[in-house]
Structure 1
Amino acid sequence: MSATILTIEDNPDNLALMVYILEAFDFRVETATDGHKGLETASRVNPDLILCDIQMPEMDGYQVIRHLKDDTRLAHIPVIAVTAFAMEADSQKIKRAGFDGYITKPIEPEDFVEQIRTFLPSAKVRNQESSFVAPASVEQNKKTVLVVDDQPVNLELATSLLEHYGYRVLRAQGMKKARMILRDGVPDLILSDVCMDDGNGYDFIRVVKAEPALQDVPFIFLTSTAICETERAKGLALGADKFLFRPMEPQQLLREVEQCMNRNGPRQ
């Protein structure tokens, strides 16, 4: 059974990033957006590890850790502080408060899981690692994915998933940057948002499909705003292989990417 990790965080972008990474590594994730809900969830699920933001309204991380350590049912659970403060005085305060460790913001997706593994029960780590196997096609042939999005958190989410499975990821924050990257080479797949600050994905795919060298590159739209069948039909009519809606489970996104790489299945 995979380890259960409770993440207490009031910032939705930070919470989404941590959940995305943890689920990509097959952890079971519980979430809470404030300290009170965090304590309630901890009592209900008895997690293997708790990640707790420090700066939260009403009940901050220091209050949360005091309640956890005073509860005999929960005091054994390792608790890691997640904080934007990394000065020596802050780290000492965090340790004195009873936290088992801390991770600084902004979170580095490449290091995040390694930072928390040492605080997990060894049996849970072994089980979790053994269930996380990259697809054979990726192991045998490292491919390049261009990820295009104007939101940094979405770029981080996609990168953390794809790089772990062996893909080389090129990140473009917007269409202008994406077009510059494409001048230097042809990726194996393009994963693009639809609505961006410097234009829309429909204009971008028109540019891509107009270039002979890029016409056959698989193209996936992934959006949380253009979420209706009319938009999907428009994207597919312009040449996209898939038009996907957020939120999407990490493993499902990976399967969609793999399917496009292998050119299997109908466009959807």
Structure 2
Amino acid sequence: MKWTAILGLTAAVALSGCSKPDAETVDREQIQPKGEQVVIVHGLARSAWSMKNMSKGIEDQGYQVCVVDYPTLRQSIDHTLHESARELSRCITEFETSETQITNQPKIHFVGHSLGGLVIRSYLAQHPDLVGSPEMGKVVFVGTPNHGSDVADFFSDTWMLSLVGGTAESLTTNPNSFPNSLPLPNYDFGVIAGTQTYPVFSGMFAKTNDGLVSVESTKLEGMRDFVEVDIKHDRLRRDPYVTSLVLNFIQTDRFEPESK
């Protein structure tokens, strides 16, 4: 059991922090800039580079994109939130001073993969002035453990999770954990959940999951829309179909067109 757990945790870190994006398909069509920004936030054990495919796909549709880069491994949750908040503010300030604005009411949208969604929730909870402003746009949570992760629960009583750091330790499903301590969003948001799991983690879940986060954990009261996709957790951040769903929600409040 000891070695199985070690291998499982090693795989968790690898899946959330080591694989590279697939080759991109770049849309070369000239698209009129929209004068709107999308701020993208990566997940645990990742970097801004890991969101390259999604950011490019959104940028190709005329949006100004800023990808937040912040530390997560071997960091306390307080330090992670402090550094990510500084980066989020930088992105917003850059947009506000940009010369590319072409509309009278530019919007700032947010997209978070995994932990990135929690970072966005924390930031917006601390910035009610932004949430209540005309600039506030849509928010999309992609594979976000809004109620914690069963994988974090599995390793919570071992020394192995502490090796990853306090931020990882904060992601359990405990009622007092970081995810469960955040206030509910008071802005328009949608949720994308993966349903394709990793065999190495299959025994850690009782319900449908993306390998690291259960579908139920992604859901939040007040969702404007919700969609499940047959994709693994790590793949969610770089799958072109997921990017298209994100764009649909930003533009229409829906992930997929309503049936007529």
Shorter-chain TM-score range: 0.3 to 0.5
User: Could you say which structure has the larger radius of gyration?
Assistant: 1
| Higher relative contact order (Cα pairs below 8 Å, separated by 6+ residues) | 2
Q: What's the TM-score once normalised by structure 2's chain length?
A: 0.39
Q: What's the TM-score once normalised by structure 1's chain length?
A: 0.38
